[in-house]
Each structure stands twice: as C-alpha cells, then as structure tokens.
Amino acid sequence: MKNLVLTTRPELSRTRVIIRAYKKKFEILSSNSRTAALWTTYYGFIYLIKYFIRAERLHDFELHLAIVAKMLPIFAAAGRGQYSKALRLYLEQIHVLEIQYGALGKTFKVVGLQSAHSSI
C-alpha cells in the first residue's frame, strides 16, 4: 500500500501495441475479402463515434476537430450535403480562429472554454 505509484505509461504502450496489431489484422482481412472490408469500415465508423463522444465529454477540442475532419468524407459519401458543407466551413473557421485571435484563440482550444463545467 505504501509503495503504490500510479503510472499509466506501461499500460498505454501495451494498448498501443494491441491497437497496431488490430490495424494490421484489419488491413489483411479487408484486402482478402470485400465483406470483411465492409465490416472493418463499419468498425472505423464506430471508432469515430466513440471518439467524438469522448471529445465532447472531456472538452477535448483538438480531438473534436480531428474527429470532425475524419467524419467529413463520410457525410459527403452518404449524401448529407448540408452537413458536409457546414462541417467544411466550420473547420475552416476554427482554423482561421487561431490566426485571427492569437493567444485568445489558443486559450479557447486548450482550456476548453467551449463547454460548461458544472462542478469542480
């Protein structure tokens, strides 16, 4: 109990190894069969959804932007014209933001001012 030290590093690197192995397996599977390719794509969608929710809940704006950028081609592919248009404009605006407002824009991104914090 005395020597309990919390470090997440070894676990993290282990997860990374597993994720890399997953990706490799997925690539092999999807190059072998078209059905497998469809389901690995589906897994990709679910991954995006999970990370989008994570970004929203943790106020992680960088992650939010990265995921939105990845979502954009899928919106376009599914024929959601309104959203693919709006998301493109949105990404453009946010990227301009940092140039336009300098340090303020940066605080906005880092501190997570975009969402409400209900308790300390």
Partner 1 sequence: MKLTPANPPVNWKGFMKSLHKPNVKVRSQIEFLQIIDQPPDSYSTVYTTLFECLKTASAKLMVITFDLPLWLKASRIFLEKGMPVIVRLGGFHTLKSFLGCVGYIMADSGLEDLMILVYPRDVTHIMDGGRYG
The residues binding partner 1 (CB under 8 A) are 1-6, 38, 41-42, 45-46, 48-49, 52-53, 56, 59, 64, 68, 71, 74-75, 77-80, 82-83, 86-87, 89-90, 93-94, 97, 101, 104-105, 108, 111-114, 116-120
What CA dihedral angle connects 21, 62, 8 and 58, to 10 degrees?
-120
d(CA 35, CA 71): 22
Residue placing its CB nearer to partner 1 in the complex, 18 or 46: 46
Match 């914090």 to its residue by tokens: 117
Residue placing its CB nearer to partner 1 in the complex, 18 or 120: 120
Are 29 and 36 in contact by the 8 Å Cβ rule? The answer is: yes
| Min CB(17)–partner 1 separation in Å | 26
Cβ-proximal residues to 109 (8 Å cutoff; 6+ apart), any chain: 61, 62, 98
Residue placing its CB nearer to partner 1 in the complex, 17 or 86: 86
